[in-house]
Amino acid sequence: MKSKEQKNIFDWTICTLEDNWETEKWKWSVKTSVRSQRGRTTYYYCKSKSVNECKAQLRVDFDVYNAVVCVAKKYQHNELCVEADLSSCQRVNSRYLKELIISIHNSGVRRPRDIFSIVKTSKKDINLSKRIIYNVLYSYKKKQNIYNQNFTSEDFATLCKKYNKPNEDNPKVFKYTLAPLRAFITSKKLLYYFSIVKNLHIDATYKINIYSFPVIILGFSDLNKRFICCGVVIAENENTDTYLWIFECIKEFLETHKLKFTVNNIIADNSEQISAAVRLFDPNIKRTNCWAHVYRLINRTINGCNDIIKNEFKKEILSLQCFSSQKLFNQGIKLLLLKYSQFTSTKQFIEEFNKKYVGKNSNWYEAFDIWSPSTNNSLERFNLRIKESYINWEKMNFNDFFDISLQIISDCGEETPRIDKILYTSKEALLLDFEFLEYSLSETEILYLIRKKNENNISLEIFIQKYTECFFTINDFLEYFSSVCFLTVRYPIINFMDIVCSCSYFAKNRKCSHIYNFLKNKNLLNLVDIALINVKAGRGRPKKIKKNAGLKKEAF
């Protein structure tokens, strides 16, 4: 069926734009196009239509060789459109736009995202994208000879030798190779930490140097959940050999000083290169998959589903991630996949999720290693800190970036992480650190207690046997086990932090009385003078309760 514009051909006025069509077409947006044996006819509308409600339209006839044959116009631009600065509708890589982007860049705003927001705020009608800003800045820096691509392996070796000072405790190039190009920048003090800590974070970041080399950051999380950077690696590529080389460098340094590599859990994203390197280095080391990356993948891939189903799946997967029991997680994930594989809209998503994050990659839940962080967010935040504070979103050459890497290691060496276990002697000292997550993992004992008023505490095996017939759906599963308290205990018990209770995952952010009962049964109340619990919330309007009033209770 022909459109109204095609029927009312007498409303169109022939105009002479054939000669300067290439400069005029940037003021118009394509509405529709009709092909025929003689060529095609394209209809345009004014780009200022959304802003000034301009009704101007244009019809352009092209021949089979894409040459302009005839141009006809319908309606004239309104007064607002004529008075407006139509230069904003000109070609986006015009001289004016280039100068505007470069001037903002030279004023100190380096991040393309920030430049984009500034330009769009001042020029709302301008046709601009972040890719255009990247291209303009790249061309500008190339003309300024900022991107000098003539960098050889000899130059890399010269830089490494310059900063490789033997018998030096200050930050330096600890080790390097030329085939492939790799340099490990660290200090002795930071490497010593890997003989004490139990977790290691590692990740690669890009857009830091002008040669597109990945920069690998590694470190650990202390007891205050703060990330401590222990090394910066500049590598030619991000593969299994590179990560294996990093682990072997750390282990070789510790062995020369008669120390043991104590890390038993490596936290990173779902990179197969890192997983393969961990298996080759030491198969006994755990490999935690970052839960934040898993959840972001769920948000990206499940958007095409129904909103009700999508929100329900997110809620259930969050509950499963908090489980402190491997048996319960394995049974819960099977019920979850069984439920959503029956829906047509989620069938493809469930297949992809099962392939990527279930089975050998299902290492993103709390019970996989309850004493270590389950996310890599602290390292991701440190990568952002490097780009904002150290390089100001500017890609560096190797000469400058080696100096910056040494400065990063020097600043991290001045920090004092908290990694030592403390035997608390007073209630006040213990309260300061009550909510942190312990960092190490040794021989553990896990007790499963049921948090119900009228039921005695029973083991998990009896509980599963008793309620097996009730497990028809994932909803029933979560309803039963949201009332279970998983009390995980690490031996030897040195302080209160060797006991983790899962009640705060499903209830409010407080510890339950199970910790107190466990210490009482084990005759370990000498670790603390008073039981650390909070007053349970009652019905009705809450009364004013003094801080730590619950500490006065000694039995439940």
Whose tokens are 């380096």? That residue is: 110
Q: How large a percentage of the chain has pLDDT more than 70?
A: 63
> Which residues are CB-contacts of 29 (< 8 A; sequence separation ≥ 6)?
44, 45, 46, 47, 49
Helix, strand or coil, per DSSP, at residue 180: coil
Whether the predicted pLDDT of 423 surpasses 50: no
Q: Is 186 exposed, middle or buried (0-12, 13-18, 19+ CB in 10 A)?
A: buried
At residue 336, the pLDDT reads 84
Whether the predicted pLDDT of 461 surpasses 60: no
Residues 337, 261: Cα–Cα separation, whole Å: 39
| 388-405 per-residue burial string, b: 16 or more CB within 10 A, e: under 16 | eebbebbbbebeebbebb
Residues 193, 308: Cα–Cα separation, whole Å: 47
Question: Which DSSP letter does residue 522 get?
Answer: T
Superfamily of domain 153-290+373-414: Ribonuclease H-like superfamily/Ribonuclease H (3.30.420.10)
Residues 270, 267: Cα–Cα separation, whole Å: 9
Whose tokens are 């009482």? That residue is: 520
Mean pLDDT for 20-41 is 74
CB atoms within 10 A of CB 96: 12
pLDDT band at residue 88 under the 50/70/90 scheme: very low
Mean pLDDT for 272-286 is 91
Give me the amino acid identity at 481. Answer: F
Give CA separation, 506 vs 335, 366, 452, 490, 511, in Å. 19, 13, 14, 22, 11
pLDDT band at residue 518 under the 50/70/90 scheme: low
Per-range mean pLDDT, top range of 54-63, 179-188, 410-419, 493-502: 179-188
CATH topology of domain 13-84: N-terminal domain of TfIIb (2.20.25)
Whether the predicted pLDDT of 136 surpasses 90: no
Residues 467, 525: Cα–Cα separation, whole Å: 34
Are residues 199 and 221 in contact, defined by beta-carbon separation less than 8 angstroms? yes
At residue 132, the pLDDT reads 81
Are residues 283 and 367 in contact, defined by beta-carbon separation less than 8 angstroms? no
Residues 524, 493: Cα–Cα separation, whole Å: 9
